[in-house]
Structure 1
Amino acid sequence: MAGVAIPFWLALALLILGSLYPDYSQFEQSMSVLGAVDAPTHFIAPIINNFPLGLLFILFGVSVYKTFPQSALARFSGLLIVLHGLASFVTGDFACDAGCSLDAPSTTQQIHHLAGLVMAWSLIGAGAIWAWLGLRLQGFRGLAFLSMALTLVALVTVPMVAISAKNLVGHGLYERVNAFVSAIWVAIFAVVLLRRNA
């Protein structure tokens, strides 16, 4: 159930935090800005967003790991999901500088961005594993094709997030597409596992 809850929690957290930040743009500004040191939501952002989501990802990753004792690759995908959750805690602990400016970022912001990269690539890696593994395990063929499609979208948006961060056009939109595609993949995977266990 932790996996199913993830995209809904993410959407609710962003809506709440965005409403508490005057003139915040979900389409132009990054999610990290909500927790930046100068943000009006600086103290509450990790409590509403990073930490609960990190816990949900860890719980789901552990569930995946325990569900497939016979498959080292499936277990590795579970560990990647756990890694995503741990990185979410790091992004909450280490906030961006004021406005998340890319000019001369502090060590804290560099750690924040490194953890953000780990978050993105860990779920892309887990999705890629299931795009391959789902075709080889009975009952996971549909998940394999969904994993291929959603992982491809997440992969394509990574450079778009980086480019938009530099030119400051549509950065929030691309970042959210990347995050929600991966979160939706996790939720679909969770539903597949729930049905399988039922």
Structure 2
Amino acid sequence: MLWYAAMTIVVPTQYDGYNSLSQSISELSAIDAPTRTLWIVLGIFYFILFIAFGLGTWLSANGNRKLQIVAIIIVFDAVFGIFWPPMHQREVIAAGGGTVTDTLHIVWAFVHLVLMLLMIGFGASVFGKDFRIFSAAIVLVFIVFGILTTIDSRRIKGNFPTPFLGLWERINIATYMIWVIVFASRRLKRNNQLASKVTFFDSTVKKDPYADCYNNHSVFCCLPGCCGSAAKHIVFYTAALARSGFMDLEIICIGIIAFICLNWLVWHYRRAGNQFFLY
């Protein structure tokens, strides 16, 4: 998610005349767009990371059918996105130069939206009431800004101005990213709880060498040299920090996204000659 957020900030800087507030993200990879190759190359890494996230969700489902369905949706959505047909630049579409690839681009967007809603629906049912309420709020944001995005998108064909198309679309994307991050955090906490129950309270299971780190909430016990390999120390050190209150994955990840968005606004503000939006 953070990789994709960085893409939406870095790539526009290589497109002279591109306006992130009034132009859609799809225009960065449009046919004959100067940033098409860069977007595709960076996008390959994003799809690989998202597929890995889906596989990780499957492997950590622990037999939970709903989590397994979410994992399947994530992997399918990532693979499906690799073959996303590009759109033409808006000048070409406005001049009547649109082809079947523009139609398929919209079809892919619709399917992607359906997959996102299925992912949120099944994912919300895994955890508690608070996460279901949170997920419902996310869907509400999708509906509101999805309608605004659709209204502005229709104006492209007539070559009418779309002053906030990019903004509406990016709000929806940021909302989706936040849901995925919170979902991943809840999944991580769930797996830690399950591991604790099996490892620490089942006398028939060999004691985990990191049990003291967890039970005592000790950060320093998990430092390299205490026990185990360096790779495992990174994992357990992070978990120890989270359990001891030094770090909350949800807050940190959301904070990173907020920081990226803030920098994007500052960059656009300066690039626009200290004038916000299109005025």
Matched, 1:53 2:41: no
Q: What is the letter of the counterpart of residue 134 of structure 1?
A: F
Tell me, what secondary structure is at the counterpart of 1:25? coil
Decide whether aligned partners of structure 1 residues 155 and 51 sit closer, same or farther in structure 2, where only a CA change above 3 A counts. Answer: farther
List per-residue Cα deviations over 1:8-36 (Å, max 9, x = no partner).
21221111111000121111101110011
Tell me, what secondary structure is at the counterpart of 1:101? helix
Structure with greater contact order relative to length (CA < 8 Å, sep ≥ 6): 1
Decide whether aligned partners of structure 1 residues 81 and 195 sit closer, same or farther in structure 2, where only a CA change above 3 A counts. Answer: same
Q: Which residue of 1 aligns with 2:26?
A: 32
List per-residue Cα deviations over 1:96-117 (Å, max 9, x = no partner).
1133737563222222222222
| Superposed displacement of residue 78, structure 1 | 1.8
Decide whether aligned partners of structure 1 residues 125 and 157 sit closer, same or farther in structure 2, where only a CA change above 3 A counts. Answer: farther
What is the 5 A alignment of 1:118-137?
A: 118-135=111-128
Decide whether aligned partners of structure 1 residues 105 and 131 sit closer, same or farther in structure 2, where only a CA change above 3 A counts. Answer: same
Contact 2:60 2:191 in 1 (8 A): no
Q: What is the letter of the counterpart of residue 146 of structure 1?
A: F
| Superposed displacement of residue 193, structure 1 | 1.9
Contact 1:87 1:116 in 2 (8 A): no
Contact 2:123 2:183 in 1 (8 A): no
The CA distance in 1 between the partners of 2:101 and 2:124, in whole Å, is 35
Unaligned runs of 5+ in 2: 156-161, 193-279
Q: What is the letter of the counterpart of residue 28 of structure 2?
A: L
Tell me which moved more, 120-129 or 23-32.
120-129
List per-residue Cα deviations over 1:150-194 (Å, max 9, x = no partner).
122123322222111013241111111111111111111112222
Q: Which residue of 2 aligns with 1:84?
A: 77
Q: Which residue of 2 aligns with 1:182?
A: 176
Unaligned runs of 5+ in 1: 1-5, 136-140
Contact 2:30 2:36 in 1 (8 A): yes
Q: Which residue of 1 aligns with 2:207?
A: none
Q: Which residue of 1 aligns with 2:101?
A: 108
Q: How many residues align?
A: 184
Dislocated runs of 4+, deviation >4 Å? none
| Superposed displacement of residue 66, structure 1 | 2.6
Q: Which has the larger radius of gyration?
A: 2
Contact 1:36 1:42 in 2 (8 A): yes
The CA distance in 1 between the partners of 2:180 and 2:110, in whole Å, is 18
The CA distance in 2 between the partners of 1:149 and 1:175, in whole Å, is 17
